[in-house]
Structure formats: C-alpha cells, structure tokens
Structure 1
Amino acid sequence: FMILLPQLPECWAYRYVPPWPVAKYPEIKTLMKPDRRLVWIVIMMLLSQLAALYLVKDLHWKWVIFWAYVFGSCLNHSMTLAIHEVSHNFAFGHNKSLWNRWFGMLANLPIGVPYSVSFKRYHMDHHRYLGADGIDVDIPTDFEGWFFCTTFRKFMWVVLQPLFYAFRPLFINPKPITSLEIINTSVQIIFNIIIYYVFGVKSLVYMLAASLLGLGLHPISGHFIAEHYMFLKGHETYSYYGPLNYLTFNVGYHNEHHDFPNIPGKNLPLVRKIAAEYYDTLPCYNSWVKVLYDFVMDDTISPYSRIKRPPKGQEVLE
C-alpha cells in the first residue's frame, strides 16, 4: 500500500510537531552547533580503510570478500552516515558550507563510488518534502513496489538496496549536473586508479565490495527500512535506540533528527533526554536485524509501505 497524504508544512514535513519542545526546553537550541569531533573521526576511518586496503592486497579472494563484509562493510556504511552528517554542515558549520562539501568528497574516497555532493542535494529535499511524489527519491518507484512483493523478491530488494538508491534519482527526480559533482566524480576516479596501481585489483574489489555488501544485506542497513517504512499505520517515522547507533552517528534517533535537522547526531540522545515526554511514547526499534527480518517475512510489508504525498501545490489524489 502507498498511502497518499496532503503536503504538510515544510518545517515539519513528516509529522506535525508544534514548536513546544523548544519553547518548553530552550536549552535544546544550545545543541544546534557543529560537531568538531566529526573531522577527526572521518580522518581516522579513512586511514583505517587505507590500512585495510594494504592488508588485503595479497590475500586469497575468499578472504578479500570475507574481510570486505566483516570489516570494510561496517566502516564504509559508517562513512556514508558521516557523509550524512557532513551534508547537514555539521563538520564546519553552516557559515563554511563549501568546506563541508570538500570534506564530504574526502569522506567519500573509501566508498569507491562518487556520491557525497549529489547526496547533499537530494537529502535536503528529503527533509523539506518527505514523501513528496516525484521529489523525495527515498520513496521507491512503482516498479519496486509492484515487483518486489514476495518473500524472495523482497530479500533480493534488500540485497540490491545500494543499486536502487544509486539509480532511483535518475528516474524519479533527475537534476542537472553541477560543477561540484563533476569534481567529486573526478577525484573519486583518480583515487580508485591510484588504489589499483598501488595496491592492486584485490584492494579495489575489496573497497567496492565493502560498499555494496555494507549497504545491502547487512545489520546496519536495517536503518534504511526502519526510518520511514510504516510497520504501524499512522506512524511514518521511527527511531532506533540500539547499540549500532555508536557506529552510525546516532542516525537511529530519526524522529529527533527530523524534528531538529540542525542538531548533529552526537547531541540527538540529549534531545530525547531533555524532551522525553515527546519521544518516549512513540513506537521505536531496538534491533535493525529484526527490522530486516520482519520486512522480508511479513506479507503485509513491501517497498510500497510508505507515506506518499503529492508535490506541493497539487490536490490530494483519491
């Protein structure tokens, strides 16, 4: 089912939350500041992946794939969520937006596929127009909802999630290519060529496989489905409060994130603590693995289990 709702105000696009939390707890405003640790964490993650690229260059192929899934996938998926933080300008602040874009390209390097600049453009649409048909590319296409409807097909959809996220924007909401995207792509291609010539083909395959596996059938990938797939009717966005938040910059605090997109992930637990009365009563998850299992096995859930709204200015479809 794809439920169609009217367009809500931009500032509270996914569920109407009055500004009471800030009015009642003004200290929340003090949390709206850059996360200065983010730069050093990303650099350490990048160096760790470079060390891994060196260590796997002479391994047997089976061990290359094994370590790509066991270690590289966790690191690369975590790096994509660091890029999510950078897309909100949490690395250097809003007054240094371009610095954040350059830093996003640096964080993009171990992922192997250029996407940090494009992600920023589409992710802001996701926040402003959550669920808007033809705008929010997080919404699956009609083909995905129609075809991936059986247990096995949904399993394959989970495995292939990174490909759908990569190509879906081209079909739903294509945008003109910008100069920063060209630079992002050029820098990434040069980096990949350097990895190939310095470490060899196994290291390059390890890097790309880590991204494909880490964003597909992987425990951390449960957040893709947990965030906005409607397991309970009437609840569009869900938070996750399990231990994997430590690896994902607290992306699990998703109600809190959409309520306060100017607060970095490290401060989102404080938002929940300060305004507990607004969040403790909402349905939430404690296991992303269970989310993946339930999504695949539950016949009532599919890629169509999302809230969809008409683009702003259009009437609601019956």
Structure 2
Amino acid sequence: MGNRVTRGDFEWVYTEQPHTQRRKEILAKYPGIKALMGPDPHLKWIVSGMVFTQFLACYLVKDLSWKWIFFWAYAFGGCINHSLTLAIHDISHNVAFGNKQAKWNRWFAVFANLPVGVPYSASFKKYHIDHHRYLGGDSLDVDIPTNFEGWFFCTPLRKLLWLFLQPFFYSLRPLYVNPKAITQMEIFNALVQFSVDSIIFYLWGLKPIIYLIAGTILCMGLHPISGHFIAEHYMFLKGYETYSYYGPLNWLTFNVGYHMEHHDFPSIPGSKLPMVKKIAAEYYDNLPYHQSWIRVLWDFVFDDSISPYSRVKRKCKLAKESE
C-alpha cells in the first residue's frame, strides 16, 4: 500500500482526527444521509438467533471428545462469538433500539454477551466511547497498544504470539492505560453472565463452557476474522489512521470492515454503511483500503515495518462526559 518505514515509536501527530471534518462535509453535501441514522430493526432478531444457536451447540457438544470440542470452537462457535462481539460493538452505538431506549441497548448487549462466556459488553461500551471521541488519544484510547507491546512484539514470532494473545491484551490493557470505576451495569453484566454459565454447567457439564470460552479466545486471536483488529487503525500507509475493508467477511461481522464510514457516522448501523459509501462515493473511493484480512495478518507478522507501534497517537483534551 505504499512505502513503509521501520519505526521504534508510535506515529505522533498534532492534528485533530479526520472523521469529524469529513462528517461535516458529507452531511453538508448529502443531508439525506441523516435518514440512515437510527436503529436497525433486524439486528435484535439476528443476534437472538445467534445466541440461541450457541445454546443449541452447547447441548450438542456436551458428549464430544475434547479434540472435537476445540475443533468446533474454532471452526464454528468462535466465529459466532466473534460476530457477536461485533454485534455488541454495533449495539454500543444504540442501533438495536435507538438512542431513546439507551438502557434497552445496554441490556440487550448483556444478552448478546452470553455465548462469549465471560462478561465484557458493559466494559466495552464504557471504553468504546473514548475510542471514537479520542481516536488515538494518548492514555485515553485503549485500542492503542502499550509501549511495552510495541517494544517487545517486534519480530515475526513475537508478533504471531501477540496476535494469539490479542484477547488478553484487549481485556487487560484498559486496566493499565485508563482504569475506570466499575459501574452498576458491569456488575449486572457479570452477575447475568456467570449465572447463565452456571446453568449451562449444571445442565450439560464443563465441555459446553470450554466450547464457548475457547471459541472466544481462539477466534479473537489468530483467526481470519481477527484481521479486522489490525486492518482498522494500524498505519499501513503513512498519513492514514483508519482503513476500510469491503470483502465478504463483512457478511459475518456486521460490516465492521466499513470502518472509515463507521468512524465518520458511528450512529449509522453497520447494515447501512454500504449506502454511506455509495452516496458519498467521492469521499471514500480514493482512500486506501484493505482487500483481505488474511493478507493483513500476514503482512503484520512478516513485514518488519509493521508492528504494534504502527498506530497514530495524539494528545487530546478531555471532553465533558455524556451518555
């Protein structure tokens, strides 16, 4: 995607994130895009179907041997769980029930969280707001790797290990970079999650629990779908901090590949982001984008110029907190 330079630090910039200005320009030229904002009436039914599919799978795997537990966790269940985490990402923007029913979105995210095996939806919501508000913000955007990650995971083998351990870095990094007080919603999330885990264990034993949690860890680590973690904001081309992907894996990931469009219009459901690109084509067609998440993972591991340091960082002023 262009000339790359080996780096030993993040790419520090002193400009505002580009999405705010592009949003203003697009809305001024195409005000009809506002009609795309609001809830997706199909999302709650799709997510519910996925959750109950996983509950059925828990029953079906209860008597399988351990090798088949892990096989189906990686090949099937983990794919659904990863997709559910991206549904939770969409729900965090209130697109399941709309902004006027914010609490319904929070509760539904807890429901979508159930097959993941561990509680995370409430914490994700809390930090994802900052990712949009302070994109690349030093000590604010916990999507940015730590200095240790950039320094240590710098060889192909270490970067491969980093990809495998990605679920753990994503879950633990916020506690180090930007710790926040535990909320009532997080407590509710945990109580519901562990209650359902206990019911599954009581009914069908340990194997379904391992199936769910192993699938989550494996498919958010070294897995083709996980290419989106790297593709979204790692700087493959100098001067660009957000990238889209328009390939077929968007069908499994609620169009999270339309990431440039998503950051421009976070209140538009993933299902409608292709329409944003179509309407405002001249704003997106000339921007760099990825053609394959598998290729993204390959380049990340084997290209010496790409590492956890390949992120844009900036100093951001704290904004007033709002829901």
The TM-score range, normalised by the shorter chain, is: over 0.9
Q: Summarize the Cα distance change of 1:157–1:14 in structure 2 as closer, same or farther, 3 Å threshold.
A: farther
* Runs of 4 or more above 6 Å deviation: none
Q: Partners in 2 of 1:139 and 1:14 — Cα distance?
A: 17
Q: CA deviation digits over 1:120-148, x for unaligned, max 9?
A: 11001000000001000000011100110
Of 8, 11, 27, the match for 1:3: 11
Q: Partners in 2 of 1:211 and 1:138 — Cα distance?
A: 18
Contact 1:73 1:214 in 2 (8 A): yes
Structure 2 segments unaligned to the other structure (5+ residues)? 1-8, 319-323
Partner residue, 2:210 = 205
Q: Summarize the Cα distance change of 1:23–1:16 in structure 2 as closer, same or farther, 3 Å threshold.
A: closer
Aligned-pair CA distance for 1:311: 3.1
Of 97, 102, 107, the match for 2:102: 97
Of 165, 168, 176, the match for 1:163: 168
| Identity, % of aligned positions | 63
Q: Partners in 2 of 1:217 and 1:15 — Cα distance?
A: 33
What are the within-5 Å matches in structure 2 for residues 12-161 of structure 1?
A: 12=17, 16-17=21-22, 19-161=24-166
Q: Partners in 1 of 2:15 and 2:47 — Cα distance?
A: 36
Structure 1 segments unaligned to the other structure (5+ residues)? 314-318
Contact 2:74 2:218 in 1 (8 A): yes
Local SS of the residue matching 1:114: coil
Partner residue, 2:5 = none
Aligned-pair CA distance for 1:262: 1.0
Q: Partners in 2 of 1:181 and 1:67 — Cα distance?
A: 29
What are the within-5 Å matches in structure 2 for residues 125-274 of structure 1?
A: 125-274=130-279
Q: Summarize the Cα distance change of 1:210–1:155 in structure 2 as closer, same or farther, 3 Å threshold.
A: same
**Is the counterpart of residue 312 in structure 1 residue 317 in structure 2?**
yes
Q: Partners in 2 of 1:160 and 1:13 — Cα distance?
A: 30
Aligned-pair CA distance for 1:3: 1.1
Amino acid aligned to 2:11:
I
TM-score (norm 2): 0.94
Query: Across the two proteins, how many residue pairs are aligned to each other?
Result: 310
Aligned-pair CA distance for 1:13: 5.7
Aligned-pair CA distance for 1:15: 6.9
Local SS of the residue matching 1:19: helix
